[in-house]
Amino acid sequence: MNLTPNEILIICLVALIALGPKQLPETARKIAKGFGQLRRQSSQLRAEFTSVVDQAVEESHDQELLRRAKETDSCASQDPNPRDLQ
């Protein structure tokens, strides 16, 4: 959401008229504090989501490696060793 300077000025004037000069600073602090908390929670949620996704990818990769290792072992046990044939 991009606000132009004129839009910000209009919002401030409406807030000043609606709240008055005594309540405006306190209300602005509460709003800023709320945005700060929202930003922190958003960052925490993003970090937790990234951690869970990374862990799932790692587990999937490990499972794929194990599956390939089992396939390789089963193929090696089925194929005779060329040295054994001599």
- How far apart are the C-alpha atoms of 19 and 34, rounded to whole Å? 18
Q: Residue 4: left if φ>0, alpha if ψ -120 to 50, beta else—which one?
A: beta
- How far apart are the C-alpha atoms of 44 and 46, rounded to whole Å? 5
Q: What is the pTM of this model?
A: 0.54
- How far apart are the C-alpha atoms of 58 and 66, rounded to whole Å? 12
Tracing tokens 């000025």 back to the chain, one arrives at 9
Each residue's pLDDT, cut to its tens digit, for the chain (86 residues) gives: 688 999 989 998 898 899 888 898 899 899 999 999 999 999 999 999 999 999 999 999 999 988 988 888 877 676 555 555 55
- How far apart are the C-alpha atoms of 19 and 30, rounded to whole Å? 13
